[in-house]
Chain A
Amino acid sequence: MADMRDEMIALLPRLRRFARGLAGSAADADDLVQATCERALGALDGFDPATRLDSWMFRIMQNQWIDAGRARARRPSVPVDAAGELADATAERAAGARLELDAVRRLVDGLPDDQRAVLCLVAIDGRSYREAAAILDIPVGTVMSRLARARGRLADALTGGEEVSR
């Protein structure tokens, strides 16, 4: 039990990053992490020590996010104006890398929830397709297609619709 709590605390940076990807804003993300930790602590009896604590908690977070989504008014979808974002990103490239990364965050935030979750798990957290599928409770094939759409939209925005053969 003690070890598990220590492990949970060690996981917090990754949980926060995943939450940031899911929830969009830093404040919402920490609320989500908080709710996830509370839910996990209340369900420790249900944790199988033979499985990975990180996957278990990511899955709880994902479920928490879905449940919260049912209760809350859905956030207005941020349209991914790829060309606009590209112009922004290009201008901001001169202004500084930090602003550019802000633009990337906005692009990620603008992805549909299900695509964003997969992108965060695989491309950002480095989880395998199989692990991501287990966390999200979806088939591996769905992981692959959602990931491809998410990445494709980011790549499109970053290349600004130019001819890809450059």
Chain B
Amino acid sequence: MSGDAHTPMDDEIALGAWLDGELDPEAAASLARRLHAEPTLRARLAALREADAMARAAFVPMRDEPVPAALVATIRGAPAAGEAPTPPTIAPARFLRPHASRRWAPMALAAAIALLIGAGGGYWTGLGTGADGRNAGLGDATLAGAVAAGSVLARALETRPSYEVVEAEGLSAMAVATHVGEDGRVCREYELLPAAPSTDGEAGLACRESGGTWHRRAVVALGGPAGDGDEAGFAPASGGADPLARLVPGLRDATPLSPEREAALIEAGWPAGNDGAR
């Protein structure tokens, strides 16, 4: 190209380093003197600067383009090699797609327990040992964890089917399963996540008391995302392996209500005395 035929490589490099602020003070001073004296060098510097500006203008706006969701999902969803399915330190996950039929891995959930309201100082010592499906130490746990009426969580629990998200006030809430105990009490597993991904969310179990208020019976800090591609790490959506379901008073079968049954109960306003039939 004729344009730079007379611009030695060393000069090209020096001019570039000048633009990049990579020249040491001595070399910069020397180049400044030459620029003052040599119009061709000044013109070349201008051309290089223009080239830089054009390149930036052509590519920098890409920063503002929306990032494809698939890329975010790759990072959020794929567990790293050798990583436990849901390490407690991992974090704040966004909800899975609402239709995803996710169940927690019992052991991972147990490991993630940071807070258990009303456990009387105990931990999940009975987890995984109760062949009858009952939790050894927590079955009668109660707590003063009323869900504020009208809150995002209350709305999700009271009015929405499982896996349907309610979003407001910087929070996202959704129920993920509904259980009915032998005494007819309705309890729902839920997730409550802040909009800011840097903050922990919670997963828990809330039961509907007479009078229509929901009370938290158990809360765990919700750790990392449950990867879509990590089905092996999660318990099947049936059987007695669901640790939260074990807290439902009198529950003998941790299988959640069917969507149809759940929808019927929501429609009817959670009528008392339900026998749990599905």
Contacts and interface: CB of A to CB of B under 8 A. Distances in A.
Contact of A151 (B16, B63, B79): B16
A134 interface: no
B12 A148 contact: yes
B22 A1 contact: no
A48 interface: no
Q: Chain B: interface secondary structure? A: helix
A20 B59 contact: yes
A122 B20 contact: yes
B81 A42 contact: yes
Contact of A1 (B4, B48, B65, B89): B89
Question: Dominant SS at the A interface?
Answer: helix
B71 A158 contact: no
Given A17-B59, A164-B40, 18 more contacts: A2-B224, A5-B90, A9-B72, A16-B62, A20-B62, A101-B58, A102-B58, A104-B54, A104-B55, A108-B58, A120-B59, A122-B20, A123-B52, A147-B16, A148-B9, A148-B13, A152-B48, A164-B4
A124 B60 contact: yes
A13 to B, nearest CB: 4
A156 B4 contact: yes
Nearest to B22: A129
B43 A41 contact: no
Interface residues of A, number: 58
Interface residues of B, number: 55
Contact of B44 (A1, A16, A129, A164): A164
Contacts, number: 171
Given A13-B62, A45-B80, A151-B12, A164 B3 contact: yes
B266 to A, nearest CB: 34
A5 B74 CA distance: 10
Interface of B: 1-4, 7, 9, 12-13, 15-17, 20, 22, 39-40, 43-44, 47-48, 50-52, 54-60, 62-65, 67-68, 70-72, 74-76, 78-83, 87, 89-92, 197-198, 224
Contact of A129 (B20, B92, B224): B20
B54 A154 contact: yes
